[in-house]
Chains A and B, each alone.
Chain A
Amino acid sequence: MNMQTYAFDKTHIIQIPLEKAMTTENLQVFYGDNHAMHDASLEFPRYRITALIGASGSGKSTYLRCLNRMNDRIATVKGKIMYRGTDINSDHINVYEVRKHISMVFQRPNPFAKSIRENITFALKRNGIKDKAELNKRVEESLKAAALWDEVKDDLDKSALALSGGQAQRLCIARCVAMKPDILLLDEPASALDPISTAKIEETLQQLRKNYSIIIVTHNMQQASRIADYTAFFHMGHVLEYDETEKIFTNPEIKATEDYISGNFG
């Protein structure tokens, strides 16, 4: 089957009418000579879930990784990433501070080979929280926020490697939440999990949405339509459409988006 070609100059990208968590302006990414991301200008609303969808290699993960500077040393990122009125894609920015506020969960659950408790307290301790009671409180809070507390509250000092995939992924979310970030970035967090674990992760995200701005990359279009308030469609390094999720999935403006969500793509 031949790959259909779509025009990159015809795009439909809306401005968000809500308070913004962060925005990017003309973000471009280069891997050496390879121009992997072209001029992505998106606005992410506060306390909402935004989904980034698109085929493999469309640049959505690459884009996501720019948002907390995880592409440093891997790729060249040009353009502006505005967070709290500051361009965090600039040389003099303290990237460690950025990542305290903009946290990331990866595709494969990646708990440390430590106990469940230590997985969560790791970053807290590095940031100078020494008080035992405070640490315990944060462990409980974050595990509850990630809907994992009831399953592991008696095993906090057991190895995190003994957890199932879904539990491990929720631990990874809890680990981020414990740092009380502003924004959670999730890179296909459920793609390695079974449907039941996936449902739990989605439920967790719905809960977290009340206090966090969430940006999630997903391959799973049903997932995007279930949980996201806004959805951006990526194709071959371009953002072609960005709108409310309902609009994207019922009445997309761009042909490529329509083909992708209806499965007539490629």
Chain B
Amino acid sequence: MDEIKKNLQSSSKATHQDYFGKTITYICIAFVGLLVISILYFITTRGLATFTENHVSLWKFLSGKNWNPGMLDKHGQPQIGALPMIVTSFSVTVLAAVVATPFAIGVALFMTEIAPEKGTKILQPVIELLVGIPSVVYGFIGLSVIVPLIRHSFGGTGFGILAGTLVLFVMVLPTITSLSVDSIKAVPMFYRSASLALGATRWQTIYKVVLRAATPGILTAIIFGMSRAFGEALAVQMVIGNAVLMPHGLLTPSSTLTSQLTTGIGNTTMGTLPNNALWSLALILLLMSLVFNILVRFIGKKGSLKK
């Protein structure tokens, strides 16, 4: 009797393990937190240096169309207008998502609703394979197949937003597909049963019930795909043309934020204006990924059918 009473009040191996485990998780979280804070701090201070140390106006940076950080314009101001890159980045991202989404939802529906067995047996590995191919391979294929194809069909150099979009389309397709598959699979079976039992056709059930319930998940999938497209550097760099010019259509060579970063970062010296300008581009990328994350959370919270 008394021993039990004593045990109740004293610590044991289990409580020590508790304490030990908790300490380990705290250490890990402190380390990761520190890492994240240092990265944010570094990019932010470097990125803001363009405006604080080199006194470039933020508005000029965001709206200027000339990018030539080493040179001064006729007013003696450095030429760092990031607008062409911002426009190009958004264009390829949005276009890739727009093109990829219908295909991704189609494939996802096939894999979950139409032919679940074949879907998981054949298509799943194919999609996983697509995710696993390194981006430089996509870029290389784009460079040697898509760019010449565009050149022959539409004229011009072949480099540009269209080539970038097509390459990114293939790259984000598996991301959007597999996340959509997850969200459609998560729709409870009884939704389908209820709809079918009310006399709805299979198509009506898929379109009005399953897809509706899966919508927040699919939107999240699209945004994840966009955030991948926005951040992709190498493959895009190989097909976009890398001329920092305002795009005049889908076929003129241009440059995205990421491709300009990879192109330029090796050619500048730390602490100089051209280098700081690149960090400002990185800061834009960082802020954009933050926006994508917030969007995902917002959709997850607001979009679900609960209440």
Contacts and interface: CB of A to CB of B under 8 A. Distances in A.
B13 to A, nearest CB: 9
B4 A85 contact: no
B15 A84 contact: no
Contacts of B5: 84-86
Interface in B164-216: none
Contacts of B4: 84, 97, 101
A14 interface: no
Interface string A94-127: 1011100100000000000000000000000000
Nearest to A92: B9
A97 B1 contact: no
Contacts of A97: 4, 7-8, 12
A86 B15 contact: no
A96 B8 contact: no
Interface in B1-53: 1, 4-5, 7-12, 14-15
Given A84-B8, A86-B8, A86-B9, A94 B14 contact: yes
Main SS of chain B's interface residues? Answer: helix
Contacts, number: 31
Contacts of B9: 86, 92-94
A93 to B, nearest CB: 6
A94 B7 contact: yes
B1 A94 contact: no
A56 to B, nearest CB: 19
Interface size class of A (residues with CB under 8 A): 10 to 19
A98 B14 contact: no
A66 interface: no
Task: Find the residue from B10, B11, B14 having the highest chain A CB count within 10 A.
Answer: B14
Task: Find the residue from A83, A96, A97, A98 having the highest chain B CB count within 10 A.
Answer: A97
A127 to B, nearest CB: 9
A71 to B, nearest CB: 18
B34 to A, nearest CB: 27
Contacts of A178: none
A88 interface: yes
B14 to A, nearest CB: 4
A93 B14 contact: no
Task: Find the residue from B1, B9, B10 having the highest chain A CB count within 10 A.
Answer: B9
Given A94-B7, A97-B7, A84 B12 contact: no
Contacts of B11: 94
A228 B7 CA distance: 31
Contacts of B1: 84
Task: Find the residue from B4, B8, B11, B14 having the highest chain A CB count within 10 A.
Answer: B8
Contacts of A92: 9
A92 B15 CA distance: 11
Nearest to B10: A94
B151 to A, nearest CB: 58
A178 B247 CA distance: 74
Contacts of B8: 83-84, 86, 88, 93-94, 97-98, 101
A86 B8 CA distance: 8
A58 B268 CA distance: 70
A94 B1 CA distance: 16
Nearest to A83: B8
B129 to A, nearest CB: 30
What 5 pairs across the A-B complex have the smallest Cβ distances?
A96-B14, A97-B7, A97-B8, A84-B5, A86-B8
14 contacts: A83-B8, A84-B4, A84-B5, A85-B5, A86-B5, A94-B7, A94-B11, A94-B12, A94-B14, A94-B15, A96-B12, A97-B12, A98-B8, A101-B4
Interface of B: 1, 4-5, 7-12, 14-15
Given A93-B9, A97-B8, 16 more contacts: A83-B8, A84-B1, A84-B4, A84-B5, A84-B8, A85-B5, A86-B5, A86-B9, A88-B8, A94-B8, A94-B9, A94-B10, A94-B14, A96-B12, A96-B14, A98-B8
